[in-house]
Amino acid sequence: MGLVVQKYGGSSVADAEGIKRVAKRIVEAKKNGNQVVVVVSAMGDTTDELIDLAEQVSPMPAGREFDMLLTAGERISMALLAMAIKNLGHEAQSFTGSQAGVITDSVHNKARIIDVTPGRIRDSLDKGNIAIVAGFQGVSQDKKDITTLGRGGSDTTAVALAAALDAEVCEIYTDVDGVFTADPRVVKKAKKIDWISFEDMLELAASGSKVLLHRCVEYARRYNIPIHVRSSFSGLQGTWVSSEPIEQGDKKVEQAIISGVAHDTSEAKITVVGVPDKPGEAAAIFRTIADAEINIDMVVQNVSAAATGLTDISFTLPKTEGRRAIDALEKNRPGIGFDSLRYDDQIGKISLVGAGMKTNPGVTASFFEALSDAGVNIELISTSEIRISVVTRADDVPEAVRAVHSAFGLDSDTDEAVVYGGTGR
């Protein structure tokens, strides 16, 4: 008998009908002779609504209480799902992250899983139950407080459980038919990818393709867990994310030169204006940011003006950390020494990802030409071996993504990508 882990995102369980539909799918998997563990997200936009609510009572809620609040969303869906399955005549038990043995560090709002001890899940499976686990949450090892894993964290819960239970596959059910060459909400002609390597998927996820979370893909690569991303609304095969290409017919699927285009409008840009051009300045700025436990993304330093010996340093970071970063820099202004700070949250990032970039000259040139033909101005550039990213105005992002997608021949000439549900929030 095989063991499968299935994860259903918020849009798949958005209402009672959705929960009943998903329950039927889960029962099918069980009837096919599998042991089934289900990880479920909060219904629809519940997590966003809880965040809005918290902000109405306190502008800076304490991390411990914030996590306690947010985990309530997944508790609702897990219990309802277990009820719906029982109603179909099958046994199911729901478990919180803590009960399922998801042990984390104690960094509230973005805790990392450090161990998974799924004893209770195993017992429940051995008794013939379907086990339903609340995604996105755990319990901290030292303080025993309830933690959350960061937005979209149910993907990580699913892969971590799949690894701990030695599952054959981790199925991620969502509101699109798999991983596409671009976000189907932006590019109607995006194509479904049959297979993608962990490496390319990591870059897409890190560049904003929220269909899979970066940490989840990292985890899957470390433990070599194949992920199958697919729709909970259709019966179609989705996208396999794994180390080795899958077989189609008697041939292996080939690695694409370009896997896709990702975009991200969740970042902001801070420019530190008038920084003395001498050793140690960049170090002082980024030490301040690091001490505030804020992750940054791109960094650019301008050439200093000869007359003044002053330069500007810009960097990007999650918008949600903008306020704290500005406060931290202002506090250390005397030590660092700069004139002023500029904050810009109207930026967007567009990234082209593909392992073939390493060996195909001209990819960068074609990428910039596509943006220029679309009349899009580039503000920052960064590259890795298999990715090129640029920062532009946020308003330009949809047009820029479509232009790059077409320029690299990624447009489908047959199907339109289907988005089955969700609000895209």
- At residue 391, what is the residue type? V
Per the DSSP assignment, residues forming a β-bridge with 172 are 7, 229
Beta strands 299-301 and 387-393: pairing type? unpaired
175 counts as binding ligand ADP under rule CB under 6 A: yes
Asked whether residue 8 is marked as a ligand-binding residue, the answer is yes
What's the DSSP call for residue 176? B
Give the residue, chosen from 18, 44, 118, 152, that forms a contact with Mg ion under the rule CB under 5 A. 152
Stretch that binds Mg ion, among 9-17, 53-61, 102-110, 117-125 (CB under 5 A): 9-17
Q: Can you tell me the distance from the alpha carbon of 413 to that of 209, in angstroms, rounded to the nearest whole number?
A: 22
Closer residue to ligand ADP, CB minimum distance, 10 or 322: 10
- Judged by beta carbon distances under 5 to 8 A according to partner kind, the member of ligand ASP, Mg ion, ligand ADP, none in contact with residue 151 is ligand ASP
Which residues, in sequence order, are bridge partners of residue 95? 133
Asked if 260 interacts with ligand ADP (CB under 6 A), we say yes
Q: How much is the CA Rg of the chain, to the nearest whole Å?
A: 23
* CB nearer Mg ion, residue 9 or residue 101: 9
Decide whether 98 or 174 has the Cβ nearer to ligand ADP: 174
Counting beta carbons within 10 angstroms of the beta carbon of residue 149, is it exposed (0 to 12), middle (13 to 18) or buried (19 or more)?
A: buried
Under 8 Å between Cβ of 162 and 131:
no
Interacting positions 105-164 with ligand ASP (CB under 6 A):
135-136, 151-155
Cβ neighbours for 376, distance < 8 A, ≥ 6 positions apart: 392, 393, 396, 399, 400, 403
SS3 of 209, please? coil
Nearest distance from C-beta of residue 31 to ligand ADP, angstroms: 24
Of 10, 18, 101, 322, the one binding ligand ASP by CB under 6 A: 10
Q: Which is nearer to ligand ADP, 2 or 424 (CB)?
A: 424
In whole angstroms, the minimum distance from the beta carbon of 160 to ligand ADP comes to 16
Residue 210, annotated as binding a ligand: yes
Amino acid making up residue 133: V
47 is in an annotated binding site: yes
Q: Are 207 and 389 in contact (CB under 8 A)?
A: yes
Please tell me the distance from the alpha carbon of residue 35 to that of residue 31, in angstroms, as a whole number: 9
Phi/psi at 407 (nearest 5 deg)?
Answer: -60, -30
Query: Could you say whether residue 73 binds ligand ASP (CB under 6 A)?
Result: yes
Closest CB to ligand ASP among residues 175, 312: 175
- List of residues 6+ apart from 401 with CB closer than 8 A: 182, 183, 186, 187, 261, 263, 350
Compute the least distance from the CB of residue 153 to ligand ASP, in Å: 5
Query: Which of 6, 12, 41, 232: binder of ligand ASP (CB under 6 A)?
Result: 41
The minimum distance between CB 209 and ligand ADP, in angstroms, equals 4
Helices (H), 104-167: 119-126, 154-164
Q: Does the annotation place 119 within a ligand binding site?
A: no
Judged by CB under 6 A, the number of residues near ligand ADP is 22
CB 345 within 8 A of CB 322: yes
List residues binding ligand ADP (CB under 6 A): 9-12, 41, 152, 174-176, 179-180, 182-185, 209-211, 260, 419, 422, 424
The residues binding ligand ASP (CB under 6 A) are: 9-10, 41-42, 47, 73, 135-136, 151-155
Binding residues for ATP: 7-10, 174-175, 185, 210-211
Residues near Mg ion, by CB under 5 A: 9, 152
Task: Pick out the residues of the known binding site for substrate.
Answer: 47, 74
